[in-house]
Amino acid sequence: MKEHSDTVPTHLGLILDGNRRWAKENHKTVAQGHRQGYQNLKTIAKAAINHGVQYVSAYVFSTENWNRDRQEVEDLMKLLKWVLKHEAKEIHKDNIRIRVIGSKTKIGASLLTAIHDAETLTEHNTRGTLLLCLDYGGQQEIVDATKQMIEKGIKTDEITIDMIQDHLYAPDVPAVDLIIRTSGEQRLSNFMMWRSAYSELLFSQKYWPDYGEDDLSKDLEQYKELQRRFGK
């Protein structure tokens, strides 16, 4: 007999799609669209944790996003640095931990410092964890894990699924139970390629800035009704 999930997801993944289209339709700049997107992320992440979700992973900047317009990339980096420098204290007061995962090879020194400071400030918080996927690509994550194992001299016949998991970014973070993507697109776009093996997928037609707490509540209720088989 197929069993329904009777609880909230432990790990929720969010693909924050539609900031630019929201900005265009609302006669805003792209930078304003991204700022509105962040404000909504703060709201939705807190709401998810209030529902009992332990980990919220947000796809804020992919490895492919470096190919966007230079000004847009610069504005996004400034926004992320501002968030980590000024919003971390508020998130800290809510007992939420901030972690940033990704390659980070192209990240500037000042943003790396802001990441370190925010992670250090919140590292002992226990109410929930917000993972910002920055300079992140699911394929690159697996490549980086493989490189680590090679550097350690691990032989190919010794490699196991658990060993690869142990070399991912933030290896203690569990698989993603539910991924929600906004704006009507129905693909993962290189998000959590390893951890999404058995993720449930829900897609919203709304642009990310318009996706509200009521939408989240409905999606979490729908998740409870999904039949999770795990290959059985």
Query: pLDDT tens digits for 200-209?
Result: 999 999 999 9
Q: Alpha-carbon distance 11 to 58, whole Å? A: 11
> Is the per-residue pLDDT at 164 higher than 50?
yes
In a domain, 90, yes or no: yes
pLDDT of residue 166: 97
pLDDT band (50, 70, 90) for residue 3 = very low
Mean pLDDT over 5-17 rounds to 90
Q: Alpha-carbon distance 182 to 206, whole Å? A: 6
In a domain, 168, yes or no: no
Mean pLDDT over 185-210 rounds to 97
Q: Please say whether the beta carbons of 178 and 202 come within 8 A.
A: yes
- Selecting among 17, 135, 177, 219, the annotated active-site residue is 17
Helix (H) or strand (E) holding 128: strand 128-136
In a domain, 5, yes or no: no
Mean pLDDT over 29-55 rounds to 97
In a domain, 199, yes or no: yes
Report DSSP state, residue 173.
S
Query: Is 19 among the catalytic positions?
Result: no
Q: Which domain holds residue 66?
A: 11-137+175-220
Share of the chain above pLDDT 90, in %: 94
Q: Alpha-carbon distance 122 to 91, whole Å? A: 8
The predicted-structure confidence for 70-95, as pLDDT tens digits, reads as follows: 999 999 999 999 999 999 999 999 99
Mean pLDDT over 176-191 rounds to 97
In a domain, 216, yes or no: yes
> Is the per-residue pLDDT at 2 higher than 50?
no
In a domain, 98, yes or no: yes
In a domain, 117, yes or no: yes
Q: Alpha-carbon distance 181 to 200, whole Å? A: 11
What is the value of pTM for the model shown?
Answer: 0.94
Nearest residue to 57 (alpha-carbon basis) of 104, 102, 11: 11
CATH number reported for the structural domain that contains residue 212 in this entry = 3.40.1180.10
Query: Is 17 among the catalytic positions?
Result: yes
- Selecting among 6, 19, 26, 65, the annotated active-site residue is 65
Phi and psi at residue 15, to the nearest 5°: -100, 105
> Is the per-residue pLDDT at 146 higher than 60?
yes
* SS3 call for 12: strand
Q: Alpha-carbon distance 108 to 112, whole Å? A: 6
Helix (H) or strand (E) holding 36: helix 30-51
What domain count does the chain have?
1
In a domain, 147, yes or no: no
Nearest residue to 215 (alpha-carbon basis) of 78, 93, 74, 51: 51
Kindly report the CA angle at 120 between 42 and 75, in degrees rounded to 5?
50
pLDDT of residue 230: 66
